[in-house]
Amino acid sequence: MKSDPSKSNVLPAPLRGIVVPMITPLSDWDTLDAEGLERLLEHIIAGGVNALFILGTTGEGPSLSYRLRQEVIERTCEHVAGRVPVLVGITDTAFAESVSVACKAKEAGAQALVLAHPPYFPAAQPEILNYLEHLAPELPLPVFLYNMPSHTKLVFEPKTVRAAADIPGIVGLKDSSANMFYFHKVQMLLKDKPNFALLVGPEELLAETVLLGGHGGVNGGANMKPQLYVDLYNAAMSRDAKRINSLHDEVMEISGKIYCVGAYSSYLRGLKCALSCMGICSDALAEPFQPFGAKERQQIAGYVEELGMKK
Amino acid sequence: MKSDPSKSNVLPAPLRGIVVPMITPLSDWDTLDAEGLERLLEHIIAGGVNALFILGTTGEGPSLSYRLRQEVIERTCEHVAGRVPVLVGITDTAFAESVSVACKAKEAGAQALVLAHPPYFPAAQPEILNYLEHLAPELPLPVFLYNMPSHTKLVFEPKTVRAAADIPGIVGLKDSSANMFYFHKVQMLLKDKPNFALLVGPEELLAETVLLGGHGGVNGGANMKPQLYVDLYNAAMSRDAKRINSLHDEVMEISGKIYCVGAYSSYLRGLKCALSCMGICSDALAEPFQPFGAKERQQIAGYVEELGMKK
Amino acid sequence: MKSDPSKSNVLPAPLRGIVVPMITPLSDWDTLDAEGLERLLEHIIAGGVNALFILGTTGEGPSLSYRLRQEVIERTCEHVAGRVPVLVGITDTAFAESVSVACKAKEAGAQALVLAHPPYFPAAQPEILNYLEHLAPELPLPVFLYNMPSHTKLVFEPKTVRAAADIPGIVGLKDSSANMFYFHKVQMLLKDKPNFALLVGPEELLAETVLLGGHGGVNGGANMKPQLYVDLYNAAMSRDAKRINSLHDEVMEISGKIYCVGAYSSYLRGLKCALSCMGICSDALAEPFQPFGAKERQQIAGYVEELGMKK
Amino acid sequence: MKSDPSKSNVLPAPLRGIVVPMITPLSDWDTLDAEGLERLLEHIIAGGVNALFILGTTGEGPSLSYRLRQEVIERTCEHVAGRVPVLVGITDTAFAESVSVACKAKEAGAQALVLAHPPYFPAAQPEILNYLEHLAPELPLPVFLYNMPSHTKLVFEPKTVRAAADIPGIVGLKDSSANMFYFHKVQMLLKDKPNFALLVGPEELLAETVLLGGHGGVNGGANMKPQLYVDLYNAAMSRDAKRINSLHDEVMEISGKIYCVGAYSSYLRGLKCALSCMGICSDALAEPFQPFGAKERQQIAGYVEELGMKK
- Tell me which DSSP letter residue A7 carries: S
The span from the CA of A273 to the CA of A295, in Å, is: 12
The model's pLDDT over D115-143, given as tens digits with 9 standing for 90+, comes to 999 999 999 999 999 999 999 999 999 99
Least confident of C239-243, D7-11, D25-29: D7-11
**C-alpha pair distances (Å), B202 with each of A153, A162, B220, B259:** 22, 37, 8, 12
Please check the confidence at residue C115 and state whether its pLDDT lies above 70.
Answer: yes
Whether C123 sits inside 8 A of D264 (CB atoms) is yes
Closest-CA residue of chain D to C129: D288
- Tell me which DSSP letter residue A177 carries: S
User: Torsion over CA of B170, B174, B178 and B179, rounded to 10 degrees?
Assistant: 30
Helix (H) or strand (E) holding B158: helix B158-164
Whether B123 sits inside 8 A of A264 (CB atoms) is yes
Is this prediction's ipTM beyond 0.85?
yes
Which pLDDT belongs to residue C302? 98
Which pLDDT belongs to residue C260? 97
Size of interface A-B (CB pairs under 8 A): 135
Please check the confidence at residue C4 and state whether its pLDDT lies above 60.
Answer: no
- Tell me which DSSP letter residue D223 carries: G
The model's pLDDT over A243-268, given as tens digits with 9 standing for 90+, comes to 999 999 999 999 999 999 999 999 99
CA-atom Rg of chain A in angstroms:
18
Which pLDDT belongs to residue B8? 64
B130 touches A288 (CB < 8 A): yes
Q: Does C30 touch chain D (CB under 8 A)?
A: yes
The span from the CA of B269 to the CA of B259, in Å, is: 8
Spatial CB neighbours of D32, under 8 Å, sequence gap ≥ 6:
D24, D25, D26, D68, D71, D72, D75
The span from the CA of D225 to the CA of D223, in Å, is: 6
The model's pLDDT over D143-179, given as tens digits with 9 standing for 90+, comes to 999 999 999 999 999 999 999 999 999 999 999 999 9
C-chain CB neighbours of A180 within 8 Å are 178, 180, 204-205, 208
The model's pLDDT over A80-105, given as tens digits with 9 standing for 90+, comes to 999 999 999 999 999 999 999 999 99
C6: left (phi over 0), alpha (psi -120 to 50) or beta: alpha
Please check the confidence at residue A10 and state whether its pLDDT lies above 90.
Answer: no
Q: Does A194 touch chain C (CB under 8 A)?
A: no
| Residue B102 amino acid letter | A
B53 touches B218 (CB < 8 A): yes
The span from the CA of C89 to the CA of C83, in Å, is: 19
φ, ψ for residue A265, nearest 5 deg? 50, 40
Helix (H) or strand (E) holding D90: none
ω into D137 cis (within 30 of 0): no
Which pLDDT belongs to residue D5? 44
Q: How far apart are the first and last CA of chain B?
A: 26
| Residue B188 amino acid letter | M
CA-atom Rg of chain D in angstroms:
18
| Residue D241 amino acid letter | A
**C-alpha pair distances (Å), C201 with each of A183, B68, C204:** 16, 51, 9
Which pLDDT belongs to residue C203? 98
SS3 call for D86: strand
Residue B170: strand pairing partners: B143
Please check the confidence at residue C10 and state whether its pLDDT lies above 90.
Answer: no
Q: Does A188 touch chain C (CB under 8 A)?
A: yes
Which pLDDT belongs to residue A310? 83
Closest-CA residue to D112 (of D126, D101, D127): D101
Spatial CB neighbours of D189, under 8 Å, sequence gap ≥ 6:
D158, D159, D161, D162
Closest-CA residue of chain D to C148: D120
B-chain CB neighbours of D253 within 8 Å are 188
Q: Does A179 touch chain C (CB under 8 A)?
A: yes
Half-sphere exposure at residue C30, Cβ-oriented, CA atoms within 13 angstroms: 9
Which residue of A29, A68, A93 is the best one to mutate when testing the B interface, meaning the one whose CB has the most B CBs within 10 A?
A93
Span D167-194, mean pLDDT? 97
Burial class (CB in 10 A: 0-12, 13-18, 19+), C42: middle
B218 touches B201 (CB < 8 A): yes
Helix (H) or strand (E) holding B273: helix B266-277
Which pLDDT belongs to residue D310? 83
Please check the confidence at residue D275 and state whether its pLDDT lies above 70.
Answer: yes
Least confident of C6-10, C125-129, C240-244: C6-10
Burial class (CB in 10 A: 0-12, 13-18, 19+), D210: buried
Chain centroid to CA C16: 13
Whether C185 sits inside 8 A of A241 (CB atoms) is no
The span from the CA of A304 to the CA of A308, in Å, is: 6
C155 touches C147 (CB < 8 A): yes
For chain B, 311 residues long, the average pLDDT of each consecutive 10-residue run is 54 97 97 98 98 98 98 98 98 98 98 97 97 98 97 96 98 97 98 97 98 98 98 98 97 98 97 98 98 98 95 71
| Residue C181 amino acid letter | F
Which pLDDT belongs to residue C309? 93
Residue C119: strand pairing partners: none
Span C39-57, mean pLDDT? 98
Using a pLDDT cut of 90, give the percent of chain B over it.
96
**C-alpha pair distances (Å), A215 with each of A15, A152, A203, A212:** 7, 24, 13, 9
The model's pLDDT over A200-244, given as tens digits with 9 standing for 90+, comes to 999 999 999 999 999 999 999 999 999 999 999 999 999 999 999
Which pLDDT belongs to residue D8? 63
pLDDT band at C243 (very low <50, low <70, confident <90, very high): very high
The model's pLDDT over D218-238, given as tens digits with 9 standing for 90+, comes to 999 999 999 999 999 999 999
C143 touches C132 (CB < 8 A): no
SS3 call for C26: strand
C197 touches C169 (CB < 8 A): no
A274 touches A303 (CB < 8 A): yes
Span D195-209, mean pLDDT? 98
**Alpha-helix residue ranges (DSSP H) falling in B81-141:** 95-108, 125-135
The span from the CA of C298 to the CA of C277, in Å, is: 9
φ, ψ for residue D109, nearest 5 deg? 100, 15
Which pLDDT belongs to residue A30? 96
Q: Does B245 touch chain D (CB under 8 A)?
A: yes
Chain centroid to CA D165: 20
Which pLDDT belongs to residue D238? 97
Please check the confidence at residue A5 and state whether its pLDDT lies above 90.
Answer: no
Q: How far apart are the first and last CA of chain D?
A: 26
C111 touches C143 (CB < 8 A): no
Please check the confidence at residue A9 and state whether its pLDDT lies above 80.
Answer: no
Count the Cβ atoms, other than its own, within 10 Å of residue D137. Answer: 9
Q: How far apart are the first and last CA of chain A?
A: 25
Which pLDDT belongs to residue C1? 41
Please check the confidence at residue C141 and state whether its pLDDT lies above 60.
Answer: yes
Whether C205 sits inside 8 A of A252 (CB atoms) is no
Please check the confidence at residue A133 and state whether its pLDDT lies above 90.
Answer: yes
Half-sphere exposure at residue C34, Cβ-oriented, CA atoms within 13 angstroms: 8
pLDDT band at C8 (very low <50, low <70, confident <90, very high): low
Whether B66 sits inside 8 A of A135 (CB atoms) is no
The span from the CA of A59 to the CA of C280, in Å, is: 55
Judged by 3 or more CB pairs under 8 A, whether A touches D is no
CA-atom Rg of chain C in angstroms:
18
The B residues from 118 to 157 touching A (CB cutoff 8 Å) are 118-124, 126-128, 130-131, 134-135, 150-153
Q: Does A30 touch chain B (CB under 8 A)?
A: yes
The span from the CA of A113 to the CA of A119, in Å, is: 17
Length of chain B measured in residues: 311
